[in-house]
Structure formats: C-alpha cells, structure tokens
DNA sequence: CAGCATCCCTCCGGATACTG
DNA sequence: CAGTATCCGGAGGGATGCTG
C-alpha cells in the first residue's frame, strides 16, 4: 500500500500528522474517532441521520440508554458541531435534535464504516473466536 | 436523508440493526468502532497500512506509546483479525506485524474517515471553542 | 528484542433521586 | 417533557520492573 495515500513523505510525518506534534487534542484522526467512539454516539448519529428527533423520541428509540447518557452524548455531539439543538418554548417545552451540515458530512465516511461493519462483523467475530480458542 | 441508506424499514429496525437485539457484542457497528476506538488503534492500523513493521520499529515510530499499550493494542488488533503477527526465530527473536486482508479492507472505509478528519478537524475545534465560550 | 506482571489512577457509564 | 445532581463500580491506560 502506497504511502502517498496519506500525503506523507516519511515515517516521522505519519506520526506528526496523526498526533499533530505532541498534543493529543491536536491529532485530527484520534480526535474525531474519539468523538464517535462513545458507547452511544454512532448510534445516535445514525438515528439523527434519518431525521430529526426529540429527546423523548430518542429515548424510546434506544430503550436501554440511560437518560443521563442520552443527555451527555447529545451534548458532546452538539459541542463538536455534529448536532443542532432547537428548543421550542411550548408548555411543556420540547427540544428537537438534528444533524448539522458538519454532522451530515461526517456521516458520509462514517456510513462507509457502518456498511463495512455490517458486512464483515461475522469475520471479526470468527477471528476473535479462533484467537481465543488458540490461546486456551 | 433517506432511511433506505440503512437498508432498514422502521425505527425499531434501526435500533435492532445497531444493537443486534439486546446483546452489545452482537452490535456490528459499535463492535467494530470499539475495535478502532482505542487511543492507539487507528494510529497503528494507519502505520501498518503503509508497510509491515517490527515491534521495535513501531515503538520508535510512535515514541510516546508505552510498550504495555503497544503490546496490548497489537494483540487486540490481531484478535479481531486485522493484524498478522509473524515470529522469525532469529537470535534475538524478531516479530513482524502486518495488516491482514481483513485489516486492509477495514482500512478503506477508515481511510475515508481519516481524510474527513484531516479536512474538518479545524471546524470541529471551532465548534467546540464556540460551544465552550457560550457556556461561560 | 519483544514481551509479561504489577500497581495505580482517571474517566466512562449505570442507577437513582430531584427540578423548571 | 427534558433535563440536573450525586454516588459508585469497572474498564482503559500510564509507569515501573522483570524475563526468555
């Protein structure tokens, strides 16, 4: 596999590009992956990619998420600019969550990974079982 | 955004497809994302996508990884079938790590995400700064 | 050279109870 | 309805020392 796919010239640059130097927060790849690596993040992005949802709807859509984690994950996604939060001053109030343009553009490559995961999950599971069996 | 992109028909199926029912380990997407969401996983996959490396080479390539985490991450990647480990019975022994076919096929969608991350990392950082500033 | 073992500590995420 | 506040157990990950 050609290193040109990274637009990088040396091993050192591979590392620098990944880490952004020495600072963890400046590493683009890990920073982005971190943002969707939460237990519920990809699930919620996937749901919101379909259409906007309200808080309670998401709660019913994903029954086994705690409301603490739903709140926190949505806040994290909003903080990173993936999700837009709109409050309607009704009584009682309702809040609608939707993907931003940034969120939708991020969902495109994420979707590639999702499709790969659905297609190759069995292979990963098999590899894991084989590895564990060999380790006896 | 059309729900057909998921090959799913209803909200319930969205959830079931993500979770695989009730079992976390059976959820393809989270399971795969989990596998590359470690602090060093994507970094090592990216390095090995360039060419095979030996243990010590990876250590020098990524100076600030502890050898404990290098060992463990490589084992995890090997367990999931992404990485092949080959021991050469020299003295002292040398071990070469390389991507498997499964690892290379997984790297293709991952690369899409990597490219997106490099292009849009600034936007994410800006969104984060704006959000934090507004929260005062 | 390429690991394994041990200690330790932070942070993610679950359970529960309470508000505007 | 849509959150906040608090407590707590377990997993992820760093530092250090030892081995074939």
CB contact under 8 A, B14 and A50: yes
Q: What is the DSSP letter of A122?
A: H
Supply the pLDDT for residue B42: 93
B95 band by pLDDT with thresholds 50, 70 and 90: very high
Q: Between residues B125 and A19, which one has the greater pLDDT?
A: B125
Question: Which of B19, B80, B34 is CA-nearest to residue A120?
Answer: B80
A38, pLDDT greater than 60:
yes
Q: Which residues 59-78 on A are within 7 A of strand C at the CB atom?
A: 65-69, 73
pTM of the shown model:
0.86
Q: Distance between CA A15 and CA B91 in Å, rounded?
A: 30
| DSSP bridge pairs for A98 | A84
Supply the pLDDT for residue B25: 46
Beta strands at A53-54 and A83-88: parallel, antiparallel or unpaired: unpaired
Show residues of chain A in contact with B112, CB under 8 Å: 108-109, 112-113
Tell me how far CA of residue A25 lies from CA of A21, A32, A80, B10, in angstroms: 10, 10, 13, 38
Determine the nucleotide nearest to B24 by Cα–C1' distance: C13
Give residue-wise pLDDT tens across range A8-29.
334 445 555 555 454 544 678 8
Asked whether residue A38's C-beta has any atom of DNA/RNA strand C within 7 A, the reply is: yes
**Which of B22, B42, B51 is closest, CB to CB, to A30?**
B42
Q: Between residues B118 and B94, which one has the greater pLDDT?
A: B94
Cα nearest neighbour of B81 on chain A: A127
Supply the pLDDT for residue A5: 34
Q: Distance between CA B65 and CA A62 in Å, rounded?
A: 36
Supply the pLDDT for residue A7: 38
A61, pLDDT greater than 70:
yes
Question: Which of B104, B41, B46, B116 is CA-nearest to residue A109?
Answer: B116
3-state class of B31 per DSSP? helix
B96, pLDDT greater than 60:
yes
Mean pLDDT of B37-49: 93
Supply the pLDDT for residue B22: 47
B6 band by pLDDT with thresholds 50, 70 and 90: very low
A129, pLDDT greater than 50:
yes
Give residue-wise pLDDT tens across range A76-91.
999 999 999 999 999 8
Mean pLDDT of B11-25: 52
Q: Which residue is nearest to nucleotide C3 (CA to C1')?
A: B71
């Amino acid at each position: 596999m050609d290193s040109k796919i990274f637009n990088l010239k040396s091993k050192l640059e591979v590392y620098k590009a990944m880490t952004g130097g020495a600072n963890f927060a400046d590493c683009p790849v890990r920073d982005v992956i971190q943002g969707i690596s939460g237990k519920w993040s990809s699930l919620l992005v996937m749901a919101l990619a379909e259409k906007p949802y309200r808080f309670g709807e998401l709660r019913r859509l994903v029954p086994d998420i705690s409301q603490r984690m739903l709140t926190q994950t949505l806040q994290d996604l909003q903080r990173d600019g993936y999700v837009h939060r709109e409050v309607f001053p009704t009584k009682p109030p309702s809040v609608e969550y939707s993907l931003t343009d940034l969120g939708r553009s991020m969902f495109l490559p994420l979707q590639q990974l999702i499709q790969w995961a659905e297609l190759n999950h069995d292979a990963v599971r098999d590899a894991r079982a084989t590895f564990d069996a060999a380790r006896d």
